[in-house]
Amino acid sequence: MKNGMKRLVVGISGASCANLAMLLLKQMSKLEGWETHVVVSKGAQRTLEYETCYTLNDVESLATVLHPLDNVGASIASGTFKTEGMVIVPCSMKTLAGIAHGYSDNLLLRAADVVLKERRKLVLVTRETPLNLIHLNNMVTLASIGVIIMPPMLTGYNRPETLEDAEMHIVGKIMNEFGLEASGFRRWSGACGGEPR
């Protein structure tokens, strides 16, 4: 890969918890040797606006490259463009359905389809609650071909004190899937005779 840089594709779709994507991009932007190739759905532009104080310009300033959603001719739309894989955070049920059924009508969906056809790692931070059988079946379809389904579940053992603590634990888990360590990520090291986390 050019200059030895590794590349992570980051899709942001319109499920709740848009801040998770911003926290991930902040962490990734501090890492040496990694590029982020980011694509934001129309739904995510809405949730960013409703749920956070960030804009698409903020996403662009953290990303190595922000690809327009309608540019299905972008680098990440081809399997010949090497990447370490893709995370979609958060992943809406609509985007989940599109991936599970090979319906790639925008760059975010096409990039995920490419990751699957090239047998690269795909992590979906699927967010909805409660889940209906269609959602669950789509997750099973993708899990059965190796996709990591990672709903942003609460964790208690790391003793989060703020919402950002809880969000950062999810970000740490996402980065862990790509062999990366998020700053401040607390790993469980056993309950007996040591620190509680």
Ligand X SMILES: Cc1cc2nc3c(=O)[nH]c(=O)nc-3n(C[C@H](O)[C@H](O)[C@H](O)COP(=O)(O)O)c2cc1C
Q: Which residues bind ligand X (CB under 6 A)?
A: 13-16, 41-44, 46-47, 50, 92-95, 127-128
In the structure encoding, which two tokens stand for residue 70, read together?
């309608």
Q: How far is the CB of 106 from ligand X (least distance, A)?
A: 7
Measured distance CA(35)–CA(52) in Å, rounded: 24
* 130 or 194: CB nearest ligand X: 130
Q: How far is the CB of 6 from ligand X (least distance, A)?
A: 26
Q: How far is the CB of 67 from ligand X (least distance, A)?
A: 15
* 50 or 157: CB nearest ligand X: 50
Please report, as a single letter, which amino acid is at residue 180. L
Q: How far is the CB of 125 from ligand X (least distance, A)?
A: 11
* 27 or 106: CB nearest ligand X: 106
* 66 or 93: CB nearest ligand X: 93
